[in-house]
Structure 1
Amino acid sequence: MRILDDADVRAVFDLDTAIASQRAAFLALGRGEAWQPGKILGGHGDHPDTVFCYAARLDGRTGPVCKFGSVNPRNVERGLPTIHAVVTLLDPDTGAPVALMDGTALTTLRTAAASAVAVEALASKATDRLLVLGSGVQGRAHVRALCHGGRFERVSMWSPTPANLATAVAELRAEGYEVEAVASPEAALASAAVVVCATLATDPLFPAHALRAGTTVVVVGSFEPHRHEIGPDVLAACRRVGVDHAPTARHTCGPLIAAGQVPVVELGHVLTGAATGRDSEDDIVTYLSAGLGIQDASAAWSIHDRAERRGVGRTLDWRTEHPALRPIT
């Protein structure tokens, strides 16, 4: 059994690999090849944290994958990622555990990479401005993923916490991204081709009338019923509402639940050509990401296969009387 910690995952899971894994995940889902059951979400009374469990299988060639973890909003104050998780992979034939890996970097990268796939499939050809609302781990990851390949001429970022915004902008600028901080979403919405909502907001961040024609809104923080980064007015203004998986999104995404029976199109069906993402360059389109086990499954097997080839990680030998971690030689 291969053990991969956060550094191991990051060593083999670069942006190109992450984006390819997410395209493969949604293509498999769109073609009906993947097993994607409902996910488990829960909490405990007034405790603000959310426990989750995602299981899925990409196809018959790769084994089942399960991710178990929690969302801890107070981690922002601790300087920690809000999401921590572990991911387990089973052999496709025997069912034996073949890998256990840290799920934090995996989740961060696969979420942003999936948004990059969605933007490629759904967004207009406009490249003038990317606006990211949220300066946390996901906000920064989305700047990196969506700017991969130099699509946008300008990048703006907003956060309700000025200190966090300043830190994020400084970090991204040090990495070579020309990011400007804006004082409010309205300051940049009128000129944004793509707007990313990467917060844990429970109230809408902006009204629909602030969006310009042709905008694509990517919503990644509204993966629970009580989270509403956008309101029903934004969905009503959309020509298309894209989702990662219709049954999951309708059950878990706050904006969809609040809006009622809004017609949706799945990203996998757009990628396979079974559906269209937009009819014209002036359409307003929203993509809601509930987060799926199939995304983790595709990412995890990409990580495992690359780690195997490169000898990254450690192995746990179940056949010895006293199993112990040993370096791979």
Structure 2
Amino acid sequence: MLLISAQEMRQAFPMEEVIVAVKEAYKILAEGKSIVPLRTNIPVKKHNGQILFMPSYVEGIDFAGIKVVSVYPKNVEKGLPSVPATMILVDGETGVVNAIMDGTYLTRLRTGAASGVATELFSNEDAKKAIIFGAGAQAETQIWALLCARKLEEVYVFDVDFNKAKQFAEQMNQNFKNYGATITAVENADDVLPEVDIITTVTTSKKPVFNGKLIKKGVHINGIGAYTPEMQEIPEEAILKADKIYVDSKSACLAEAGDLIVPIKKGMITEEKITGDIGDYIIGKLPGRESKEEITIFKSVGLAVQDVVTAARIYEKALKLGLGKSITL
């Protein structure tokens, strides 16, 4: 059994390869070669937290696994990750645990890669400007994935805490200087919304984080942060304007994604507004963007199949590179 740290994962597996792994996961899911139960979400009201258990068996690669991921916003005050997680990877043939790895970093990787896949598949190829809402722990890999998917010139960052956004943008400029984009914090997102080609939301907000009236034709939106029926990042105006709405899993999003559940409950849209699963597009069952003017949305709540496939590829790469600490229980 290998114990694989975040540092070793970072060393072994760049975002470009994570995007390939997550695309593979979506394809396997669409082909029916995986078992992915809905996550078990246990609220811990005493500490304003949630603990989620995300299991999956991926027949397509013969690995299984479970990620235990918690959402504890107050952890930031304690100097701890607000979304701590641990991933356990299991050999599908023997049922033996192959690896235990940093699930917090894994979550950041595969969540960023989800936006990367959708941006690569659905945004206009000549996209130059993007904005990201949220400057928390997940935001760095979101920017990384966007820069891998498109040759962006400008990435704007908005956060309710402008000072946090400024510090984050400065750090991201250092981290990703080789990609050639300028990363800038904005105090008022409305000033730049009409010009951006890609919008990514990665918050835990319970109300829309941008003005849907200001988005331009041809924009692509990644809705990543809201993962419960009460959370809502994407404004209803944007949902109504969308020509195509792709999801990581229609059944999961209809159970968990407030971005879609809220407008459905209000009678503004029906389930038929959802174009379908991104994996079905990948295997050729759904149309993609059909004009530069279309507004596309990708809504993700995160799936265990992404974790298992990404963890399996990291494990294989770690074996090849001699990374990880071998342990026996």
TM surpasses 0.5? yes
| Aligned counterpart, 2:146 | 146
Unmatched tracts of structure 2, length 5 or more: 265-269
Select the residue among 228, 235, 242 that pairs with 2:239. 235
Q: Does 1:247 align with 2:251?
A: yes
| Aligned counterpart, 1:186 | 190
Between stretches 8-17 and 163-172, larger displacement belongs to: 8-17
Share of identical aligned residues, percent? 25
**RMSD value over aligned CA atoms?**
1.6
Is this contact kept in 2: 1:64–1:90, CA < 8 A?
A: yes
Select the residue among 259, 280, 291 that pairs with 1:269. 280
1:53–1:243: structure 2 CA closer, same or farther, 3 Å change rule? same
Quick one: distance in 2 between partners of 1:45 and 1:89? 29
Q: Does 1:285 align with 2:289?
A: no
Is this contact kept in 2: 1:172–1:178, CA < 8 A?
A: no
Between stretches 116-125 and 57-66, larger displacement belongs to: 57-66
Pairing 1:47-126 to 2, within 5 Å after superposition: 47-78=47-78, 80-126=80-126
| Aligned counterpart, 2:34 | 34
Counterpart AA for 1:140: E
Q: 1:283-312: CA deviations, max 9, x gaps? A: 111111100000001111001101111111
1:277–1:77: structure 2 CA closer, same or farther, 3 Å change rule? farther
Deviation at 1:79, TM superposition (A): 5.0
- Per the alignment, in what secondary structure is the counterpart of residue 73 of structure 2? coil
Unmatched tracts of structure 1, length 5 or more: 318-322, 324-329
Deviation at 1:112, TM superposition (A): 0.6
| Aligned counterpart, 1:327 | none
Between stretches 53-62 and 236-245, larger displacement belongs to: 53-62
Quick one: distance in 1 between partners of 2:71 and 2:197? 30
- Per the alignment, in what secondary structure is the counterpart of residue 125 of structure 1? coil
Between stretches 95-104 and 124-133, larger displacement belongs to: 124-133
Deviation at 1:199, TM superposition (A): 1.2
Counterpart AA for 1:57: Y
Counterpart AA for 1:138: Q
- Per the alignment, in what secondary structure is the counterpart of residue 190 of structure 1? helix
Question: Please, what TM-score do these two structures have when normalized by structure 1?
Answer: 0.92
Counterpart AA for 1:171: Q
Select the residue among 288, 296, 299 that pairs with 2:310. 299
Deviation at 1:59, TM superposition (A): 2.2
Quick one: distance in 2 between partners of 1:253 and 1:214? 23
Deviation at 1:82, TM superposition (A): 2.2
Counterpart AA for 2:231: R
Is this contact kept in 2: 1:125–1:281, CA < 8 A?
A: no
Counterpart AA for 2:237: D
| Aligned counterpart, 2:14 | 14
Counterpart AA for 1:272: I
Quick one: distance in 1 between partners of 2:74 and 2:159? 16
Quick one: distance in 2 between partners of 1:232 and 1:76? 31
Deviation at 1:74, TM superposition (A): 2.3
- Per the alignment, in what secondary structure is the counterpart of residue 58 of structure 2? coil
Counterpart AA for 1:87: M
Select the residue among 222, 230, 236 that pairs with 1:218. 222
Quick one: distance in 2 between partners of 1:126 and 1:63? 37
Quick one: distance in 2 between partners of 1:225 and 1:111? 19
Select the residue among 212, 215, 220 that pairs with 1:208. 212
Counterpart AA for 1:229: E
Quick one: distance in 1 between partners of 2:117 and 2:205? 24
Greater share of helix residues, 1 or 2? 2
Pairing 1:152-171 to 2, within 5 Å after superposition: 152-171=152-171
| Aligned counterpart, 1:45 | 45
- Per the alignment, in what secondary structure is the counterpart of residue 64 of structure 1? strand
